């Protein structure tokens, strides 16, 4: 992909989200997304760099303690494990499997697929035996094994698939279009975490060139968040940061099924400040500062703790960076129909911009050189 950015108008939130979410960027192969982001951020940033592991960092401007607005580029995926004699692609998950079978929350079957082969992208479908051929006793089987799932890309043999550039290790993503749902909802794949990249982009564009910034503001796009916060773990080796706002999807319980006592947040009710998740406790001081700012601004805000969840913010905390987690409510996470509300997304941008200008938090560090 070239460095040319085919971008929607600056005020077209849906267009920006659609562009970002439809880019292919599976865990471990985020280059297309990172190239797009580096080019877009390069339009307004004072400095843009791609690190050795392909994180992207961009300096927006300002002086004083360094503030990082951090999102991640990767999306959940599958990998080709082997190729069947008849050309079907057997699959393995993107994460370290401990169950030995697909978990109940991961349901990629019966979806259009995109295979990232060596020469380019190849379309297919993620499939399993269905309908009439699984009647009778076979139909009584409970749950799936990994070998029950495969990709059908129209090949008739292993040799044909290999000739197309497919081999073990090729990534596979589901591939629906991003579309509007109702008046303000957006649905599609990779809202986790491309919407966060959209938020960081819009905030950066609004902050660039301002002389009243309370921080030296940087944007970050990390790789390999979905399999262990790998990219963010090296951010502090590239640059010394004092504070970090990690931006990610927020969990909601406003659909049939989840217990609202466990997931009280709702879509359309404003950004969610997270105090704790499965990996860490976020900075109480920084979190409280954001909450107080939202109250002063009259901005909608939800507060929560998340279970079965982690973010790049934990990696920053481990490296000594004061970190808060700001999330946008998202339904159906880790699925091809992740759903967000435009009002929540815009409220996240507004809160971040206000924080970067109005915050007068601890000034621990005054713009030192690279680590």
- Write the pLDDT tens digit of every residue in 281-306: 999 999 999 999 999 999 999 999 99
CATH of the domain at 123: 2.40.30.40
Same-domain status, 272 and 331: yes
Shared domain for 347 and 260, answered yes or no, is yes
Are 202 and 275 members of one domain? yes
- Span 196-228, pLDDT tens digits: 999 999 999 999 999 999 999 999 999 999 999
Query: For position 97, what pLDDT does the model report?
Result: 86
Among candidate residues 89, 72, 77, 237, the one with its CA nearest the CA of residue 167? 89
- In the predicted structure, residue 128 carries a pLDDT above the cut 70: yes
Could you tell me if 139 and 93 lie in one domain?
yes
Judgement on whether residues 214 and 324 belong to the same structural domain of the protein: yes
Same domain for 60 and 83, yes or no, is no
Average of pLDDT values for 298-326?
96
Q: Which residues neighbour 66 within 8 Å (Cβ) at sequence distance 6 or greater?
A: 215, 216, 218, 239, 240, 241, 242, 243, 365, 367
Residue 369: inside a domain: no
| Helical H segments across the chain, by residue range | 13-22, 31-42, 158-163, 191-207, 235-238, 284-297, 312-318, 342-358
Q: Which of 108, 142, 174 is the last residue of a domain?
A: 174
Angle between helices 191-207 and 342-358 (to 10 degrees): 40
For residue range 230-277, what is the model confidence (pLDDT) as tens digits? 999 999 898 999 999 999 999 999 999 999 999 999 999 999 999 999
**pLDDT digit string (tens) for 171-202?**
999 999 999 999 999 999 999 999 999 999 99
pLDDT band at 99 (very low <50, low <70, confident <90, very high): confident
Distance between CA 276 and CA 273 in Å, rounded? 9
Q: Are residues 91 and 63 in the same domain?
A: no
Q: Is residue 135 part of a domain?
A: yes
- Domain presence at residue 256: yes
The domain total for the chain is: 2
* pLDDT at residue 224 in the model: 95
Q: Give the model's pLDDT for residue 139.
A: 57
Confidence category of residue 98, pLDDT binned at 50, 70, 90? confident
Q: Considering 117, 140, 174, which residue would you say is the last residue of a domain?
A: 174
Residue-level pLDDT at 343: 97
Q: 220 and 337, same structural domain?
A: yes
Q: Which domain holds residue 70?
A: 13-75+189-358
**Among the three residues 174, 206, 227, which one is the final residue of a domain in this structure?**
174
In this predicted structure, the answer to whether residue 31 has a pLDDT above a threshold of 70 is yes
Q: Is residue 216 part of a domain?
A: yes
Contact 199, 71 (CB under 8 A): yes
38 is a domain residue: yes
Residues 198 and 314 reside in one and the same domain: yes
pLDDT-based confidence at residue 138 (cuts at 50, 70, 90)? low
The proportion of the chain whose per-residue pLDDT surpasses 70, expressed as a percent, equals: 92
pLDDT, tens digit, 9 for 90 and up, residues 1-13: 334 445 544 469 9
State pTM to two decimals: 0.92
The CATH number of whichever domain residue 21 belongs to comes to: 3.40.630.10
Same domain, 82 and 40: no
**Residues 271, 282 within the same domain:** yes
What confidence score (pLDDT) does residue 360 get? 64
CA nearest to 229, candidates 336, 323, 328, 331: 323
203 and 332: one domain? yes
């Amino acid at each position: 992909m070239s460095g040319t950015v085919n971008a929607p108008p600056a005020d077209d939130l849906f267009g920006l989200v659609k562009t970002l979410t439809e880019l292919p960027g599976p865990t471990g192969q985020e280059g297309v997304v990172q190239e797009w982001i580096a080019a877009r951020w390069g339009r307004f940033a004072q400095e843009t760099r791609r690190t050795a592991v392909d994180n992207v960092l961009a300096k927006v401007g300002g002086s004083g303690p360094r503030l990082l607005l951090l999102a991640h580029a990767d999306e959940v995926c599958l990998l080709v494990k082997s190729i069947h004699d008849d050309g079907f692609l057997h699959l393995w998950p993107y994460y370290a499997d401990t169950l030995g079978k697909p978990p109940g929350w991961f349901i990629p079957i019966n979806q259009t697929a995109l295979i990232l082969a060596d020469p380019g992208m190849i379309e297919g479908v993620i499939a399993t035996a269905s309908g009439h051929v699984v009647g009778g006793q076979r139909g009584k089987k409970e749950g799936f094994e990994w070998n029950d799932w495969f990709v059908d890309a129209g090949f008739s043999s292993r040799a044909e698939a290999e000739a197309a550039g497919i081999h073990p290790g090729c990534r596979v993503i589901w591939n629906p279009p991003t579309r509007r749902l109702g008046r303000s909802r957006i649905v599609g794949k990779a809202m986790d975490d491309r919407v966060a990249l959209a938020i960081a982009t819009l905030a950066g564009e609004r902050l660039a060139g301002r002389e009243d910034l309370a921080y030296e503001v940087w944007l970050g796009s990390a790789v390999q968040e979905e399999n262990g916060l790998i990219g963010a773990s090296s951010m502090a080796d590239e640059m010394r940061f004092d504070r970090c706002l990690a931006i990610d999807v927020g969990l909601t319980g406003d659909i049939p099924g989840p217990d609202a006592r466990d997931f009280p947040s709702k879509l359309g009710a404003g950004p969610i400040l997270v105090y704790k998740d499965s990996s860490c406790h976020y900075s109480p001081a920084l979190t409280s500062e954001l909450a107080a700012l939202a109250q002063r601004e009259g901005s909608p805000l939800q507060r929560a703790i998340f279970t079965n969840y982690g973010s790049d913010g934990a990696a920053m905390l481990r490296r000594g960076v004061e970190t808060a987690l700001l999330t946008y409510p998202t339904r159906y996470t880790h699925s091809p129909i992740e759903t967000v509300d435009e009002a929540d997304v815009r409220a996240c941008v507004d809160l971040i911009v206000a924080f970067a200008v109005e915050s007068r938090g601890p000034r621990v560090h005054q713009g030192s050189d690279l680590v």
